[in-house]
Amino acid sequence: MSGIKEKVIRKYERRNREEERKTNKGKEGRSGKKEKKNERGKKDQQREEKEKGTNKEKKRREHK
């Protein structure tokens, strides 16, 4: 009986470890790439906003 229990326990432990590896790999690799892309996008947006200026600045320029 104890031999069977040990086998079953090992089986489930192995399965859990494999699932953890899969989930961790996905989280670290993919999300890291997405975050980097988002950061690039944010930087580009900030540059564009600086170049364009805010609406208030545009109106001031037009009135001058």
**Based on the structure, what is the number of domains in the chain?**
1
Tokens of 23: 């989930």
Specify the pTM: 0.35
pLDDT of residue 32: 57
Helices (H), 1-64: 2-52, 55-63
pLDDT at 14 over 70: yes
Tokens of 26: 């996905």
For 15, phi then psi, to 5°, come to: -60, -45
* Distance in Å from the first CA to the final CA of the chain: 91
What amino acid is encoded at 21 in this protein? R
Which residue range(s) make up the domain with 33?
A: 2-63
